[in-house]
Amino acid sequence: MTSLLLLLISSGIVVFLILSLDDSRFAQNQLTELFQNDPKVQREMTHSEAQTNSQVFAADVVEGATQLLFYPFYLLIAASLLSAGGLLTIKMNRFVPAMLFSLAGVLSLFTLLPPVLLFFASSRLFATSPALEV
């Protein structure tokens, strides 16, 4: 249950960071300066061309990063759904929730604590001890 809660909190944080990336003037200013300070750009473009192209470059990078950063969010949501499915099926069969927890742990490996808790839960369910009372 704790791992599911941590996965949902992580999902919320990832979405907040992704959505705030578009509004971040700091990130766009850093990308603009990076583009304008490139020696090749300074040699081959006029100042006005470099300024115009740097704004396009910054907008493209932010858009690409926003699209790319949604993948961890999708993985966290899938891991949350698998964890919830494991919690719902834990009384029926021990093998199915163990597999669901293991898969959720693999999907959330880029976080720190949830996969550890999920792998611990799945290893406990794979153990040959008597049925767990839930």
pLDDT digits (tens, 9 = 90+) for 76-127: 888 888 888 888 888 888 888 888 888 888 888 777 777 777 777 778 777 7
What the block records as the tokens of 3 is: 């791992």
Give 4-62 pLDDT, tens digit per residue.
Answer: 777 778 778 777 777 777 667 777 788 888 888 888 877 888 888 888 888 888 888 88
CB neighbours of 1 closer than 8 A, spacing ≥ 6? 87
What the block records as the tokens of 94 is: 């021990």
Entry field: residues in the chain: 134
* 69-71-73-79 Cα dihedral, nearest 10 degrees: -150
Give ∠ CA 126-129-133 in degrees, rounded to 5.
Answer: 90
What is the distance of C-alpha 3 from the center of its chain? 15
CB 57 within 8 A of CB 33: no
pTM of the entire predicted model: 0.59
